[in-house]
Structure 1
Amino acid sequence: MRLIHFILCAAMLSGSPLSGADNNLPVIADTTSSIISLEKEHRVGQAWARTLRGSAPLLNDPITYSYLNDLLWQLTAHSQLQDKRLDLIVLDNPTLNAFAVPGGIVGIHGGLLLSAEKEDELASVIAHELAHLSQRHFAAQLEESRRNRPFTMAAMLASILIAAADSQAGMAAITTSIAAQQSSSLAFSRLNEQEADRIGMQNLAEADIDPNAMPRMFSRMQQSQRFQGSRPPEFLLTHPVTESRIADSLNRASQLPTPSTSRTSLDFDLTRTRMVVHFSSNPQKALNHYRSATKSTQQPLDYYGLAVAAIRMNQFKLAENALKKLPASWRQHLFVKLTEAELQLAAEAWLTASKQLEELNSLFPDHYAVEQLLAKAYMGAEQPDKAISILNRLKKDYPTDTNAWYLLSEALGQAGKAVAVHQARVEYFLLTGQIDKALQQIIYAHRESGLTSSDKARLIQLEIDTKRVRDEMKMDF
């Protein structure tokens, strides 16, 4: 089971890719490059991510995605990653889990925000996973496994994929594909865990985040496990927390510098509240909870929760009144202003929403959540050309974002640009691993009348790209 943990850990983390050096060359002092290059890890990770996007529900919340993406890159700046091409995937799953697949795929369940009570605790989980990636523990584990017996990475990644969508089925698949490991493999895994803890806490300190957040998060996980029954969360299956591990992390944290002031984050508090409402199985119950809380405590965060819950229940006047109760400083916060725009979008006040978001776009240019919501506002206002312009810019910064490609295909359809609709749909289907649907869209596009020579050349290239992706998704080593 420890081998499972390594692959999952070295297999746990979308955002804008960064250019890097030629990753085909072996890394100096990095013996794992002779086993699998960074470039091949990247190709394998991207192929795996396509299947994940098509198999597990993605969280469609631009504000939450933007927050997690910013936090990820803040931590990446203080990591030892040599290949900084990262791709964040946020899953619409209420469970405590996160994972980083070799090749820079960072996966975070929305439920992780429910488990962490402070931003530094959330950051500690991400820092730990980035450490697994930077130290290339996956490649090292691959080498160790090959010494003992034949190993198929495709089978392992397939098992991880199943676990992301269905934990019980995934663990059954993993148990079937990997037999019990020798004691040497178990020790090898524990060493990697200790290294990821150590480097993760060091990177937290360098990012001016309290390294004590990691043992604090471990303790919180251990405590929650006692109330989980016979089966703990997936994260704890792959990241076992013991008293000795907590003690070791506390000892390491005590040797690292801590921030002079306690870290507070309104971004985190607002995002976490959004997830509390989002994952509530009974929207009316969530609304009642925050309505009651605002009467008894009158805390700003409860008013924000009430506003988000009211929008979800289409009680727009209640949401508007709740937002007005927020302190003036809160109402200037970007996430609150975006929530005000979400209210207008939900009420189909397209022109009002467009105006609000245009102002935000001038203040926060190229912001992911602002552009996503502005594109929706333009589409609602039947201004598809403006939406297309926004989305074309967005997809350049976030080329693997399925929401951007989906919205772009809808806006192009609204604008009557049939060939471009097919092309955008091909890109969307490729990102979600739906190769047959992508090829079918290419066929449909070829049937459109009035194709230019440029259109035909683009379709030919798309077909070549689609077949290449199909081959990469079958790749194994």
Structure 2
Amino acid sequence: MINPTLPPEKMSIRIINLRTGLSPYLLAGLLTLSPLCAIKATELPVIANSSATISLEQEYQLGRTWARLLRGRAPEYSDPLVVNYLEGLLWQLAANSQLQDHRLDLIVLDNPTLNAFAVPGGVVGINSGLLLGAKDEQELASVIAHELAHLSQRHYAQQLEESRRNTPLILAGILASIVLATADTQAGMAGISSSMAAGQQAGLNFSRRNEQEADRIGMLNLVNSGFDPFAMPRMFSRIQRSSRFLGQKPPEFLLTHPVTESRIADAQNRASQLPPPAYKPQRYDFQLLKKRIEVFYASDQQQLIKSYRESAADDALSSYGLAMALIKSGQYIQAQTTLENLPAKLRQHLYIRLTSAELALASGNVKQAIQQLNGLNDVYPDSYPVSQLYAKALAADNQFKKAASVLTRLSQQQPNNSYIWYELSEIRGQAGDTLGVHEARTEYFLLTGNTTKALRQIEFALREKNLSHSDIARLEERQREAESIRDEIKNAF
């Protein structure tokens, strides 16, 4: 199966906790709701004086710096199927938002807890556990719509302006503390506390207003994207029940911002004032991916297999989960039989066909996998998950140059995908392309905030023999850009 985890180097240090003790906008959780009437985009509130503090371009650059640090310190959930699906959903909602700057950067974190957040400059973070916590795509979309509303209303700029007037709050101190918290939670939280202590209450009150606005506009954009506005109160209710009855530690934002009955009622009242959805549910996409994530995080695969078998007779989705669990446990013949017994219509779904190719690869049937993926690549030439798995199959068949060509095209389409650059560096090495290895590693290290290693890779590349003038010019230009990124990180913190 497609491995959703990154290499050990990226798996260092624990996940960043963005919801405990931080500025509520940076936490960007589902917070207080307020009454809502249907509004038009032209009736949205005007942000007063926010541009006087920080421009859109400054927000963008700050967000890219923050994203590099996050990628380098928190493990990403890099299953291409999941990432591709979430990117599609994000852009569907963004198209109906009030975003002025549509340069978005999605980071999917390898964390089974329910969480999502927005960072200035268009960075949206989603825990893989958000798909586990939501019942359907509409509930998942309600959370993302809320986060996009934070970005479209530039709540960061508003909060910075408020803090400039009322408190000595400095964003660099908070962001540095967030990064520190990934390595030492106590030290990080101490830094956050010292940065925010003087203006904590003023900042909290201001952020509550931001949250109310994000909830209100987020629900509007949810409807404009064709989703059911009632998905938001349903999601709130589900979160509330999970903390009461599932015996799990409640989601982090519930510890400081509990979901109350009145909040759920307000959301339902607000949803009743909006038009009915034009949503046409994708019956399988969300649910199939949810099964993949369930299998990935299951601590007892045999118990999961038993559970899936008990419900598989009446539920095709459980059958898919069973097949995934069987693949992960190495029971390939049974997994093949399970996939073949899925309903004919479901077997034609792209995710099932990719899973069949994953099974062929896992069981050593490389030629069969390549044959399957050749056909899929012809039909879906621009599909990220198809291309990624196709490259993996080609590499397994020692077709390293062709695999590198596939991943090079992917890297051009998704230059901010650190997983692609890491895989490309490995396959270029197997293809004997030493210069290409150094260049791919440079991009990987820049995306993960390790500018020292990135600059070292450029130095190695410049020492290669038989470099053309264009090679040298390209490398020297990238060296200057890497030095600029290094300086941006230093200046931000």
TM-score scaled by structure 1?
0.90
Q: CA deviation at 1:147?
A: 1.0
Q: CA deviation at 1:157?
A: 2.0
Q: CA deviation at 1:225?
A: 2.6
Q: 1:155 corresponds to which residue? A: 173
Query: Within 5 A, what are the aligned runs for 1:200-279?
Result: 200-226=218-244, 232-237=250-255, 240-259=258-277, 263=281, 265-279=283-297
Looking at structure 2, the residues matched to 363 and 263 of structure 1 have their Cα atoms a distance apart, in angstroms, of 23
Q: Which moved more, 1:2-11 or 1:445-454?
A: 2-11
Q: 1:409/1:182 Cα in 2 relative to 1: closer, same or farther (>3 Å)?
A: closer
Structure 2, gaps ≥5 residues long = 1-19, 32-45
Q: Does 1:421 align with 2:437?
A: yes
Q: CA deviation at 1:451?
A: 2.4
Q: Is contact 2:166-2:199 (8 Å) kept?
A: no
Q: 1:233/1:121 Cα in 2 relative to 1: closer, same or farther (>3 Å)?
A: same
Q: 2:398 corresponds to which residue? A: 382
Q: CA deviation at 1:177?
A: 3.0
Query: Within 5 A, what are the aligned runs for 1:1-150?
Result: 4-9=23-28, 31-150=49-168
Q: Which moved more, 1:40-49 or 1:245-254?
A: 245-254
Secondary structure of the 1:178 match is helix
Q: Does 1:468 align with 2:484?
A: yes
Structure 1, gaps ≥5 residues long = 13-27
Q: 1:103/1:229 Cα in 2 relative to 1: closer, same or farther (>3 Å)?
A: same
Q: Is contact 2:226-2:278 (8 Å) kept?
A: no
CA RMSD of aligned residues (A): 2.6
Q: 1:78/1:168 Cα in 2 relative to 1: closer, same or farther (>3 Å)?
A: farther
Secondary structure of the 1:472 match is helix
Q: Is contact 2:287-2:317 (8 Å) kept?
A: yes
Q: CA deviation at 1:87?
A: 0.8
Deviations along 1:215-260, one digit per CA (max 9) or x if unpaired, are: 1111111222335889632243465423332222111111001226
Looking at structure 1, the residues matched to 29 and 476 of structure 2 have their Cα atoms a distance apart, in angstroms, of 37
Deviations along 1:19-54, one digit per CA (max 9) or x if unpaired, are: xxxxxxxxx966312211111111111111111111
Q: 1:236/1:321 Cα in 2 relative to 1: closer, same or farther (>3 Å)?
A: same
Deviations along 1:283-341, one digit per CA (max 9) or x if unpaired, are: 333223223332xx431011100111111112111111111111111011111111111
Q: Is contact 1:222-1:241 (8 Å) kept?
A: yes
Which amino acid in the other structure matches residue 416 of structure 2?
Answer: T
Which amino acid in the other structure matches residue 222 of structure 1?
Answer: Q
Looking at structure 1, the residues matched to 52 and 329 of structure 2 have their Cα atoms a distance apart, in angstroms, of 56
Which amino acid in the other structure matches residue 439 of structure 1?
Answer: L
Q: Give the total of aligned pairs.
A: 461
Q: Is contact 1:3-1:186 (8 Å) kept?
A: no
Q: 1:217/1:441 Cα in 2 relative to 1: closer, same or farther (>3 Å)?
A: same
Looking at structure 1, the residues matched to 185 and 235 of structure 2 have their Cα atoms a distance apart, in angstroms, of 22
Deviations along 1:60-119, one digit per CA (max 9) or x if unpaired, are: 211111111111111111111110111111111111111111111111111111110111
Looking at structure 2, the residues matched to 230 and 346 of structure 1 have their Cα atoms a distance apart, in angstroms, of 34
Q: Is contact 1:102-1:133 (8 Å) kept?
A: yes
Q: 1:30/1:411 Cα in 2 relative to 1: closer, same or farther (>3 Å)?
A: farther
Q: CA deviation at 1:369?
A: 0.7
Q: Which moved more, 1:228-237 or 1:67-76?
A: 228-237
Looking at structure 2, the residues matched to 11 and 36 of structure 1 have their Cα atoms a distance apart, in angstroms, of 25
Q: 1:302/1:429 Cα in 2 relative to 1: closer, same or farther (>3 Å)?
A: same
Q: 2:384 corresponds to which residue? A: 368
